[in-house]
Structure 1
């Protein structure tokens, strides 16, 4: 697992950050717009957004004093692909287990 993937998983570990990603899936938002959806300070929201950015799950566009936060689908794809490997792994293991159980039943 790469360092970026580790940061992505760290970012996804927190339910607030997962909720922020869901918000950003619909619209790009400023820190203030994201903060309106949570019972926390803008500073706390900014920390969550920083972790999401470090995990390559969002990108931040700076325009003067405004910072727009955008969902980074490429970063999410990396996480999805990593999980996909284990999804296939467990599917094959469970299929093998099912075959063994069916042999014992017959």
Structure 2
């Protein structure tokens, strides 16, 4: 019995810079693989393999038009990524705010208690 095809998740699919470029390229237009591959130095077969990974992750939809296959972006699965990143965005916002408060309070305390502190350091050298 044949093994089922490997499904890729959104995170695996966008990990590769070529696939991110493909998503960007398909952001505005539905394009055939011949046009898509013209934007890359790799073979059309290699581009098709990248498109298959994106399709397995649900990020790209394809349809037959005559003899060609056209691809378009399906941004819906990117919502999973957006939600995941939102947590870390809040995390870094909180950390940077805390750092800002610390630096501002430390510099205010240093200047108030010793406005010439930097000159004393220079005298000792």
- 1:31/1:68 contact within 8 Å kept: yes
Distance 1:70 1:81 in 2: 23
Per-residue deviation, residues 36-57 of structure 1 (Å, max 9, x unmatched): 1111211101100011112222
Considering fraction of residues, name the structure with more helix: 1
- Aligned-residue RMSD, C-alpha: 2.1
- Taking structure 2 as the reference length, what is the TM-score of the superposition? 0.70
Q: Retained in 2: the 8 A contact 1:35–1:45?
A: yes
Give the distance between the partners of 2:61 and 2:69, measured in 1 at CA: 10
Structure 2, unmatched stretches of 5+, are 1-6, 110-125
1:71, 1:57 → 2: CA distance? 6
Match of 1:87 in 2: 89
Map of 1:69 onto structure 2: 71
CA deviation digits over 1:52-75, x for unaligned, max 9? 112222122245643221111212
Paired residues in the alignment total: 102
Q: What TM-score do the two structures reach when normalised by structure 1?
A: 0.80
Match of 1:24 among 23, 26, 30: 26
User: Is the partner of 1:69 in helix, strand or coil?
Assistant: strand
Q: Point out which structure has higher relative CO (alpha carbons under 8 A, 6+ apart).
A: 1
| Aligned: 1:11 with 2:13 | yes
